[in-house]
């Protein structure tokens, strides 16, 4: 379980990117993080991974009961926590000159003795696991190519294979499909959904494509100016709510009258802090 309580982040110059965020993600959930550009999605993911420390003032993040950070200080055992957290970023974070399989096997490095991880010596069993993970994401044919020779979508799937080898309980994906064509994007999202369903990993994915969030993620969290303004079933989001959320970006994000979002609203569950609250929150 990922638990975030009272988290705020103020950047130098006084800009508040996260404003008292409290969220809880149960093990095995697949959750979309949406919101206009600059709403705080990447900042939140960086905090969950312990790459960034929040403001002091009592905010906490824990994963499976292990502290990631507390009161503005990243836990000193963060490496142990990170061993269970996989990352898939928009900028493909593979080492381009190394073979795809080597990149995937680095997912297991944190569980290896230090001397072996330094030398990147992998056993036959580890290689078999890496090849199995590549087969699962549908790119085993590319195992021995340089990572830089793969397409963007294939690189993202390799990054997901790395989280499989890592046995990550939580996968944080920051705009993993932002620079992909629609078919590659669909395959990457399907691969993330498979990891979520087969491995029961918690997947938290920031997305600009609301249609994709609706299709793959049962739950959506929407941020506006660093605040959570919606947390509930993706299929209860309405076009009106989304237009309010995205403001001037709405036309680009939601498209015209053919958008799959132009449909009647589902009844909103009582627990929603619905988008109309933006008027109050802003
Ligand atoms: N290191 C930083 N220093 C100062 N301001 C920052 C820093 N990182 C992010 N910000 C600001 O914090 C806000 C939130 O940024 P963030 O990248 O989290 O937004 P986002 O929702 O992921 O946006 P996008 O969808 O465009 O990637 C933005 O206004 C951004 O300019």
Q: Please tell me the predicted confidence (pLDDT) of residue 209.
A: 87
Window from 51-60, 124-133, 158-167, 261-270 with minimum mean pLDDT: 261-270
CA of 44 to the centre of ligand 1 (A): 10
Domain ranges of the chain: 1-84+170-184+198-282, 96-168
CA of 174 to the centre of ligand 1 (A): 12
Nearest CA to ligand 1 atom 2: 11
CA of 175 to the centre of ligand 1 (A): 13
Nearest CA to ligand 1 atom 16: 40
245 Cβ closer than 6 Å to some ligand 1 atom: no
For residue 107, name the pLDDT band (cuts at 50, 70, 90). Answer: low
40 Cβ closer than 6 Å to some ligand 1 atom: yes
11 Cβ closer than 6 Å to some ligand 1 atom: yes
Nearest CA to ligand 1 atom 19: 38
Q: What is the mean pLDDT of residues 85-107?
A: 83
CATH (residue range 1-84+170-184+198-282): 3.40.50.300
Whether 142 contacts 124, CB under 8 Å: no
Q: What is the mean pLDDT of residues 143-159?
A: 89
pLDDT more than 90, % of the chain: 47
Q: Is the pLDDT of residue 118 over 70?
A: no
Which residues, other chains included, contact 241 with Cβ-Cβ below 8 Å and sequence gap of 6+?
A: 230, 274, 275, 276
CA of 53 to the centre of ligand 1 (A): 14
For residue 31, name the pLDDT band (cuts at 50, 70, 90). Answer: very high
For residue 96, name the pLDDT band (cuts at 50, 70, 90). Answer: confident
CA of 139 to the centre of ligand 1 (A): 33
Q: What is the mean pLDDT of residues 149-154?
A: 87
Over residues 134-147, the pLDDT tens digits come to: 998 889 999 999 98
For residue 234, name the pLDDT band (cuts at 50, 70, 90). Answer: very high
CA of 216 to the centre of ligand 1 (A): 25
Distance of alpha carbon 263 from alpha carbon 55, whole angstroms = 40
Q: Please tell me the predicted confidence (pLDDT) of residue 62.
A: 96
Window from 16-20, 26-30, 174-178 with minimum mean pLDDT: 174-178
37 Cβ closer than 6 Å to some ligand 1 atom: yes
Q: Please tell me the predicted confidence (pLDDT) of residue 111.
A: 57
For residue 279, name the pLDDT band (cuts at 50, 70, 90). Answer: very low
Nearest CA to ligand 1 atom 29: 38
207 Cβ closer than 6 Å to some ligand 1 atom: no
Residue from 17, 53, 90, 221 to probe ligand 1 pocket by mutation (most atoms less than 8 Å from CB): 17
Nearest CA to ligand 1 atom 3: 11
Q: Is the pLDDT of residue 24 over 90?
A: yes
């Amino acid at each position: 379980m990922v638990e975030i309580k009272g988290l705020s982040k103020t950047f130098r110059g006084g800009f508040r990117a996260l404003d008292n965020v409290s969220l809880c993600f149960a093990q095995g959930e697949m959750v979309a993080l949406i919101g206009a550009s600059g709403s705080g999605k990447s900042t939140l993911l960086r905090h969950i991974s312990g790459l960034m420390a929040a403001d002091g003032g009592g905010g906490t993040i824990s994963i499976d009961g292990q502290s990631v950070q507390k009161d503005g200080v990243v836990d000193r055992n963060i490496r142990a926590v990170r061993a269970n957290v996989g990352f898939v970023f928009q900028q493909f974070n593979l080492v381009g000159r190394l073979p795809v399989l080597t990149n995937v096997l680095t997912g297991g490095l944190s569980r290896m003795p230090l001397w072996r991880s330094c030398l990147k010596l992998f056993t036959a069993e580890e290689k078999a696991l890496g090849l199995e993970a590549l087969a699962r994401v549908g790119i085993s044919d590319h195992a021995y190519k340089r990572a830089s020779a793969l397409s963007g979508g294939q690189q993202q799937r390799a990054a997901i294979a790395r989280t499989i080898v890592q046995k990550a309980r939580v996968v944080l994906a920051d705009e993993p499909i932002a620079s992909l064509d629609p078919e590659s994007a669909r395959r990457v999202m399907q691969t993330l959904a498979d990891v979520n369903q087969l491995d029961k990993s918690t997947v938290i994915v920031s997305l600009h494509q609301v249609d994709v969030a609706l299709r793959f993620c049962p739950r959506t969290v929407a941020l506006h100016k660093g605040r959570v303004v919606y947390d509930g079933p993706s299929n209860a989001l309405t076009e009106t709510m989304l237009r309010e959320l995205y403001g001037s970006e709405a036309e680009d994000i939601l498209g015209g009258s053919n958008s799959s979002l132009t449909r009647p609203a589902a009844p909103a569950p009582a627990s929603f802090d619905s988008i109309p609250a933006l008027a109050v929150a802003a």
